[in-house]
Structure 1
Amino acid sequence: MLAPMATGVGQVWLTILEASRRSGLSEPTLRYYEQIGLVGPVPRDPSSGHRRYDAATMDVLDSLGCLRSAGLRVEDLRKYLDLLARGDAAAAEQRDLFDHHADRLEAEIERLRLRLEYLRLKARLWDARDRGDTGAAQRLVPRLLALVDRF
């Protein structure tokens, strides 16, 4: 469990290491997100100058960490936050943002499936060659070529 630094009345602050662990974003990414305005400015500890993340900032970072792990790009994260600030008035745009990304992800999964099938067929081809089964190897070649055309 993280050991947050408590300062002030009821306020809990996390160090950059703790914020990184909780959000799943690296420390350099946290600094970068602050630099480009996705979060921040992040308050600093007056005595050390180290970043201290409050609960509201952590809510944003937790969301960004989930979205980033789902493959959203920085420009999509920025758009998400801009739309989020508009609330329900931007619901249709939020839906479109996520639908568009889901479509992109689905296409990427299909490309990965093709690559996986290609690798499995290549393994079968070399297995056939290893066993000296030239007939099986020859039957696999057209399937491999057909897959290559789909890349």
Structure 2
Amino acid sequence: MASATGEQTDLTIQQMARRSGFSGPTLRYYEQIGLLGVVARDESSGHRRYGPATVERVEALSCLRSAGMTVSGMRRYLDLLAEGDSAAAETRDLFASQADRLAADIEQLQLRLVYLRGKARLWDARVRGDADAEKQAIAEVTRVMDHIFSTEGPGI
């Protein structure tokens, strides 16, 4: 939120929730466990007010969370960030490791997508009474299931 002078104004918890995608309870939890530091309070109401530095931190955490990083990973990132350039190699490794996990998750999601589309084709073939298309769809779904179960165990 910008004021008439273009300066960042403090955000309420509802505004911060909308901006970050975190729920109010998640923001309060992250504050409680120390991920956000001390969140300022409005003197008259006692309501939380997220200033520019906290907004920036919440936005960074939102990006990390949306990339699948755990709370402990986010905490580690903040610790490394506080160490500055001396922790650059560890910070790089943290992000590289998370990127590898995300790539594996994407691969599994792509397999599930192929599975669902194959199932849709199978049922479409049944609706149309096309036995050959149904056999092809069954074969495709079976191949995908074999791959899913051989790489991650039961999951569908």
> TM-score normalized by structure 2?
0.82
Is the 2:2–2:8 Cα contact (8 Å) retained in structure 1? no
| Mapped pair 1:28 → 2:35 | no
- C-alpha change, 1:21 and 1:135, in structure 2 (3 Å) is closer
CA RMSD of aligned residues (A): 2.0
Q: Give the secondary-structure state (helix, strand or coil) at the position aligned to 1:108.
A: helix
Amino acid at match of 1:121: G
**Match for residue 38 of structure 1 among 17, 35, 38:** 35
Aligned length: 145
Kindly report structure 1 stretches of 4+ aligned residues shifted beyond 3 Å.
none
Counterpart Cα distance in 2 of 1:133 and 1:29: 50
Identity %: 59
Point out where structure 2 has 5 or more consecutive residues left out of the alignment.
149-156
**Match for residue 75 of structure 1 among 54, 72, 97:** 72
**1:128-147 residue pairs with structure 2 within 5 A?**
128-147=125-144
Point out where structure 1 has 5 or more consecutive residues left out of the alignment.
5-9
For residue 121 of structure 1, report the CA deviation from its aligned partner.
1.4
Residue 7 of structure 1 corresponds to none
Amino acid at match of 2:54: T
